[in-house]
Amino acid sequence: MTILDILTYPAKSLLEPSVNVSSIDDELKKMVSDMGETMFDAPGVGLAAPQIGVNKRLIIYDINAANHDDEGSKKQFKALINPVITASTGSIISESEACLSVVDYSADVKRYEAVTVEAQDIDGNKLEIQARGILAVIMQHEIDHLDGILFIDRISLLKRTIYKKKLKKTLKENQ
């Protein structure tokens, strides 16, 4: 397994929509395994293929994300291929939402409280996931990546502008 590089905003791959995965082969399975190792190493609770420069509709998430306070929880992840949110209800504020691709920034983001996601697993089986709370937020966040949307696109224009100016200054200083 390999730790992959995670792209950061404003990388082009993060801003483009992804295409459906057409076949599940050994190369895709290796990428999923590498993404899992990368996500836990970062550390994060979700990772989308565009974050590693691959614009395919593939996400992974930490199945124990809701239990991170539990010291005994194992590092396990699940891959979702071609995930689609088919239903959503309620509204919550995801407090201090952050992203491995949006460096040094977090914000409160309005999200659905519960979502239904249809996808395929790594073996090509169809699945339907009913997600609530943190898992629903992770699903929405990662599926947004597949559509070229970052969580900063879901905050106020003022906050987004302040972040972009700060980032531009940081990038200029690091050149």
What the block records as the tokens of 136 is 């629903």
* Euclidean distance between CA atoms 97 and 105, whole angstroms: 9
What the block records as the tokens of 102 is 């949006």
List active site positions.
Answer: 142
Q: Which of 113, 97, 116, 115 is nearest to 154 (CA)?
A: 97
Rg (CA), the chain: 16
